[in-house]
Chain A
């Protein structure tokens, strides 16, 4: 039998105390498209980074064409004709496409002016449309991805690794990409594609390798399997999530958004004419491919995103103290986070970027608790006593695994970091709770704990907004599901009746939708 183009044997990689990959085996045949399937945090990207020479494995062996090799740097990877297209583009903004493509390649022509011609030649061969002289900072996401792929091809790679290439693409762009991939395969290239979109796996791959929690499960022929079997292998058990879902009790409008429009720095529209309401006692799910405007939507409400036009109204619950029967509307438009809080709006926000935004990695749990509350009181000094008590309480009630309340949060594992963040946001007793990808990268147990917390909030009458990516979770957890595509609402569905296929369709409905980073 012909040797594998690439084979990994018992590869292990640790980051501190976290095991990212444990005894992983992987084999790539020549001229095939191999899909690597796994949930977020299953160690796919780490594994690929070791093949590409970004990380060095702690243990294990790598073979290319049957010969054992050491890939200690990206340079070594190129030597073995391995090229990787990363999920986060590695391009230099101020350079042109051609400059980026020829960067680091050693060949006979030293003059940069020649680069443009050779890039044009390759583009034509595989049918890419690209202006080699365009600067990266002027490009769209899919153009940038094209540059990344051209970069790898220009180096004459025989083994291509594409890390979630479709996550940022529109369906049309994905189709184009798959056409290019098939052409590359015909050209004799071996391709690894990472994705967690099952229909793409079925469409493009010859075989599928499955990883789960950093461990290798199996590799199967795509033709001999189906989505159910793959899903089962990927998550380890049948995807009956069994998330509790109670019926909303006494739904009252808590947040109303009308005609919301936003643009990004490059003046590209990120949200267009978004209108919806959220009610107390329900979980509203927001579905959509990455970068469809989810972040802009939540940040607009939180006062972190400038708004072009539109209204955001919050309805404060009627209380005995203010004596009002009706809920009092509060206009949140063009308010800073501080102003929003000073207006008495009880809004909690669990952002997507936990350690970069929601928490401060180098601060301990106590100081992170204080982020929300330190401003209170007239004293010029901070009072660490209440946050300390809160920290202890959260550690206890949410079973946060930590040496203590004075441990910097960056030293906690992902799940525990999230518990600290969600715990803090819930402790603020919100009326509206927004959570962006709250279970991303979390293990099953932590994920369920988060679902339970969200459900508890719902039962307390809180209006919960849950931005998710896993459609199974969305359809089992949410009362209603709002689908965003290219910054527009393409549908609001009943969570109990919605089919995954239906949501999937809505997620890719708008033609040429805006995808942003």
Chain B
């Protein structure tokens, strides 16, 4: 960044300060950082509203109302929003320990899919051959193990040879996707791109209190608390922070850095695998390359936007899910394309990503000093 936008010696040798001068902020008060974020979200909502207005010709208020209806309009919608929320939150929680360690895991999508695939494979090949309760245990184990494997593999190479983890994990996503395609072709000879409940008919978990999604919600709520405590109060969490802040310090105090990297990615992958299990085994009883639906990527943003704080993550994932569901409602109502929600999500993300700058840095304009002196 060229911090000094303009500098020239004016006439008569009079000096001119640079127009914009950027300095790092030290210790931003919490209210200020919250305010900046709130302004950014507000601005993003306005932009989304205006955009929607342009496409639909509807008035802004009714657009926002539609957003709300889409997300919370009736109990069914609320349940569905909650389901989307907890899955996204779960994946975001999964990637967080790795991120705190500054291990840029972009492979959550693949880890979820690997977990889902392992679950589906158990349902397909073992279904009906072993008792359902046992099958469910096997599915869970297999799902978690597969996610863990997808997480550990890049971690081992990172720990041993410092292999670039962003690119490695990214590639693993597509390995998982192609493996799912392979499974689909085996499980469904018709060439369909989804294998559904008619094929995966064993190993269904009974609905809790008649609510399809309640189980997921409870699992993820527990997970939120677990990750919060794990990161903040456990020795493992403390080691993760130290490794993330400074590997040199970690070695100095005798932390086995490769072990922490691998252990943390095993946890990340395992939770992703669990999410895959919830999606395939518990909720939809179907699998496709779209099962994770890009949430592996969105989760990265959720976690980052929440500054890796599990409690804030509830809010950031709620925000994104709300917008996504809302935009879907708008696009259905006005007969727009379903991808409208991706655009809205993109816009809100850009605003929040951009506003972080104003939290971390201070922009000083020219004349800042003179004013002070005159006072």
Contacts and interface: CB of A to CB of B under 8 A. Distances in A.
A and B touch in the complex (CB under 8 A): yes
Given A363-B241, A374-B238, A356 B9 contact: no
A360 interface: yes
B2 interface: yes
A31 interface: no
Given A16-B26, A351-B252, A363-B242, 17 more contacts: A58-B369, A67-B13, A68-B9, A68-B13, A70-B7, A70-B9, A72-B4, A76-B7, A338-B254, A358-B252, A362-B245, A363-B241, A367-B241, A374-B238, A381-B235, A382-B233, A382-B235
A411 B27 CA distance: 9
B163 interface: no
Interface string B4-31: 1001110001011010010000110000
Nearest to A408: B27
Given A70-B15, A380-B235, A371 B245 contact: no
Please give me the 7 A-B residue pairs with the lowest Cβ-Cβ distance, nearest first: A337-B254, A72-B7, A338-B254, A72-B4, A360-B245, A357-B248, A371-B253
B77 interface: no
Nearest to A351: B252
A337 B2 contact: no
Contact of A72 (B18, B237, B251, B256): B18
Of A58, A374, A381, chain B has the most CB atoms within 10 Å of the CB of A381
Chain B, interface residues (CB within 8 Å), range: 20 to 34
Interface string B252-268: 11101000000000000
Contacts of B8: 70
A353 interface: yes
B249 interface: yes
A95 interface: no
A73 B254 CA distance: 42
Nearest to B2: A73
A38 B245 CA distance: 33
Contacts of A379: 235
Contacts of B253: 337, 371-372
A411 B242 CA distance: 17
Nearest to B15: A70
Interface of B: 2-4, 7-9, 13, 15-16, 18, 21, 26-27, 233-238, 241-242, 245-246, 248-249, 251-254, 256, 369
A382 B26 contact: no
Contacts of A336: 254, 256
Contact of A380 (B13, B26, B236, B251): B236
Given A68-B13, A381-B233, A411-B26, A360 B254 contact: no
12 contacts: A16-B26, A302-B252, A304-B252, A336-B254, A338-B254, A358-B252, A359-B249, A367-B238, A371-B253, A372-B253, A381-B233, A382-B233
Nearest to B242: A360
Interface of A: 16, 56, 58-59, 61, 67-70, 72-73, 76, 302-304, 336-338, 340-341, 349, 351, 353, 356-363, 367, 370-372, 374-375, 379-382, 411
A382 B234 contact: yes
Nearest to B4: A72
B13 A56 contact: no
Contact of B251 (A304, A359, A375, A382): A304
A375 B248 contact: no
Contacts of B235: 374-375, 379-382
Contacts of A304: 251-252
A10 to B, nearest CB: 13
A360 B246 contact: yes
A357 B256 CA distance: 15
B4 A73 contact: yes
B244 to A, nearest CB: 9
Given A67-B13, A73-B7, A381-B234, A356 B249 contact: yes
Contacts of B18: 56, 72
A363 B245 contact: yes
B252 A337 contact: yes
Contacts of A337: 251-254
A370 B238 contact: yes
Contacts of B254: 303, 336-338, 340-341
Contacts of A382: 233-235, 237-238
Nearest to A57: B17
A370 B233 CA distance: 12
Contacts, number: 87
A68 B15 contact: yes
A382 B249 CA distance: 18
A76 B3 CA distance: 13
B25 to A, nearest CB: 9
Contact of A356 (B26, B233, B246): B246
A56 B4 contact: yes
Nearest to B253: A371
Nearest to A62: B15
Contacts of B249: 356-360, 371
Contacts of A73: 2, 4, 7
Contacts of B242: 360, 363, 371
Contacts of B27: 411
A179 B7 CA distance: 38
A362 B241 CA distance: 10
A185 to B, nearest CB: 29
Contacts of B241: 360, 363, 367
Contacts of A58: 369
Most chain A CB inside 10 Å of its own CB: which residue of B3, B236, B245, B252: B252
A382 B254 CA distance: 16
B257 to A, nearest CB: 11
A318 B26 CA distance: 49
A320 B27 CA distance: 51
Nearest to A336: B254
B26 A70 contact: no
A353 B237 CA distance: 24
A45 B256 CA distance: 37
Contacts of A360: 241-242, 245-246, 249
A344 B60 CA distance: 70
A301 B237 CA distance: 29
Contacts of A411: 26-27
Contacts of A372: 253
Contacts of B233: 381-382
Nearest to B14: A68
Nearest to B7: A72
Contacts of A371: 242, 249, 253
A358 B250 CA distance: 9
Contacts of B21: 56
B133 to A, nearest CB: 30
Contacts of A380: 234-236
A483 B298 CA distance: 58
A340 B2 CA distance: 48
A432 to B, nearest CB: 16
A189 to B, nearest CB: 24
**From A302, A360, A379, residue with most partner B Cβ within 10 Å:** A360
Contacts of B9: 68-70
